Amino acid sequence: MLELVVQTERRTQLVDLTERVRDAVAGTDAGALTLFVPHATAGILLQASGPGARHVAADLEAALDGLVGESANWRHLEEGDRNPWAHVRAALTASSVTVPIDGGELPLGEHQTIFLCEFDGPRSRRLLLALHR
């Protein structure tokens, strides 16, 4: 099983892993790739970046933080856990995404970008890759 390791730098941060994922599957004859995040305060989103979409990651970070605020009446806080809202934010993203592979390539859309989504950083995070026939 392939694995990518990422060091995040901010509490909420979308990290672009598209090139590392493309490199990891280049030339495979598999038919699909599953990306899996083995964490409960991180997730995965396929969203946009690049020309015409430079601020999408920042907008997503702010929007997900805003949807799940820190002033709610969290039960998890009673245990002294420092960041219960991170679990809810992560729950709004995905734990896995499966992408078809076509001739050894990922058929991503024009600006489509693979983001690991950190909600309790900075931390070391893992992204597991599984190829399917």
Q: Give the Cβ contact number of residue 65 at 10 Å.
A: 16
Can you tell me which of 8, 36, 119, 121 binds its own copies, judged by CB under 8 A?
Answer: 36
Question: Exposure of 120 by Cβ count < 10 A (0-12 exposed, 13-18 middle, 19+ buried)?
Answer: buried
Structure tokens at 1: 């099983």
Can you tell me which of 12, 21, 25, 84 binds its own copies, judged by CB under 8 A?
Answer: 84
Q: Is 63 in the site for its own copies (CB under 8 A)?
A: yes
Kindly report the length of the chain: 133
Q: Is 5 in the site for its own copies (CB under 8 A)?
A: no
Binding window for its own copies (CB under 8 A); candidates: 4-12, 20-28, 42-50? 42-50
Structure tokens at 127: 């992204």
Structure tokens at 105: 């390539």
In angstroms, rounded to a whole number, what is the distance separating the alpha carbons of residues 74 and 59?
25
Q: Is 4 in the site for its own copies (CB under 8 A)?
A: no
In angstroms, rounded to a whole number, what is the distance separating the alpha carbons of residues 88 and 77?
13
In whole angstroms, the minimum distance from the beta carbon of 94 to its own copies comes to 6
Residues that bind its own copies (CB under 8 A): 1, 31-32, 34, 36, 38-41, 45-48, 52-56, 58-60, 62-64, 66-68, 72-76, 78-79, 81, 84, 87-88, 90-102, 107-109, 111-113, 128-133
